[in-house]
Amino acid sequence: MSGPGSRACGLLLGYAADALLGDPRRGHPVAAFGRLAQACERATYGDSRSRGAAYALVLVGGAAALGRSAHRAARGSTVAQTMLTAAAAWTVLGGRSLLAEADAMRSLLDDGDVPGARARLSHLCSREATGLGSDELARAAVESVAENTSDAVVAPLVWGAVAGVPGLLAYRAVNTLDAMVGYRTPRYLRFGWAAARLDDAANWLPAGVTAGLTVLAAPLVGGDPRTAWAVWRRDAAAHPSPNAGRVEAAFAGALGARLGGPSTYAGRLEDRGVLGDGRSAGVRDLPRAARLSRVVGAASAVLTASSVLAASRAGRSRARA
């Protein structure tokens, strides 16, 4: 098996491992990275963009360097390369955990346990849940499923296809730092600026891939691809995030429901625009959103693995020419 073949096979195996096993229960490497990032923040924090940029670049660069070193160590064996890529992909993917959280939210809301659902929402996003009702909680969960389908599944696979193990680890470092310091709060407005901008850049292409696959998968949840495409193109810009807006708008169109609106994060009210038409997303849309996420994730695994092989064949053809 060639290097590209090892990478493609490793991405598929890593995706399958995540789908079947979920996250490691103990000693998760991403959690260890988070603890390291916290320690670095305590040592380097300053209310400036330059300090924040140095913090982000050192940690992301370190993750990429670790991936590159591991790749070099496995270079002599295609089996080792495949298993290394699979292990890295399994480590950074979060599709099964995302779907489990969506199912837990659905169960709590079906049982009428609104206080429990408010507490559970923090497992999906950082939105303040105090005072949210059942439908508002369901809408928040659907939006989080949509956004995290890109962030936790499609984006790692895209970067794994582009840059192998270094790409997988560097992307997860970027995304983790954004979740830790990429907020518009007094503490992080400047220090977290670089992490947030890196995350925007790293997710630009994956968000487009996710939205496109969502449009194609719309019929599998009773939706219309033309509607999903139209809502994506019309409403994505209403969302303050250039990446989440595209994905959430495509999900809204595919589900035939309305997402977005005012939401509170870290005490700050944000108007995230109205995405989609008709009724507001509710509890009944959570299983449909989870099904859509599962289909998009599986399609992205096949697409990214295929793209690695196609790029390799194209390169060989150019070399022969």
How do residues 101-129 score in pLDDT, each as one tens digit?
A: 999 999 999 999 999 999 999 888 878 87
Instruction: Give the chain's radius of gyration (CA, Å).
Output: 20
Q: Is residue 267 predicted with pLDDT exceeding 60? A: no
**Helix pair angle (29-44, 49-73), 10° resolution:** 140
DSSP alpha helix (H) spans, the chain: 3-21, 29-44, 49-73, 78-92, 95-110, 114-120, 134-149, 155-181, 193-217, 225-235, 244-255, 285-320
Nearest C-alpha neighbor of 179 from the set 265, 255, 105, 99:
265
Q: How many domains does the chain have?
A: 1
Indicate the pLDDT class of residue 139, thresholds 50, 70 and 90: very high
How do residues 46-81 score in pLDDT, each as one tens digit?
A: 999 999 999 999 999 999 999 999 999 998 899 999
Q: Is residue 97 predicted with pLDDT exceeding 90? A: yes
Which tokens go with 235?
A: 């409403």
**Helix pair angle (193-217, 155-181), 10° resolution:** 140
* 81 CB-near residues (< 8 Å, 6+ apart): 3, 6, 7, 10, 71, 74, 75
Longest dimension (CA), the chain: 66
Which tokens go with 239?
A: 């969302």
Average pLDDT over residues 88-98: 96
Indicate the pLDDT class of residue 28, thresholds 50, 70 and 90: confident
Average pLDDT over residues 144-157: 97
71 contacts 87 by C-beta, under 8 angstroms: no
Q: b/e per residue, 194-217, with b = 16+ CB within 10 A?
A: bbbbbbbebbeebbbbbbbbbbbb
Rounded distance between C-alpha atoms, residue 126 and residue 205, angstroms: 24
Mean pLDDT over the full length of the chain: 93
Q: Is the dihedral of CA 304, 254, 270, 30 positive or negative?
A: negative
239 contacts 245 by C-beta, under 8 angstroms: yes
The whole domain housing 257 covers 3-320
Rounded distance between C-alpha atoms, residue 139 and residue 261, angstroms: 10
Q: Is residue 269 predicted with pLDDT exceeding 70? A: no
pLDDT for the residue 112: 94
How do residues 198-245 score in pLDDT, each as one tens digit?
A: 999 999 999 999 999 999 999 999 999 999 999 999 999 999 888 999
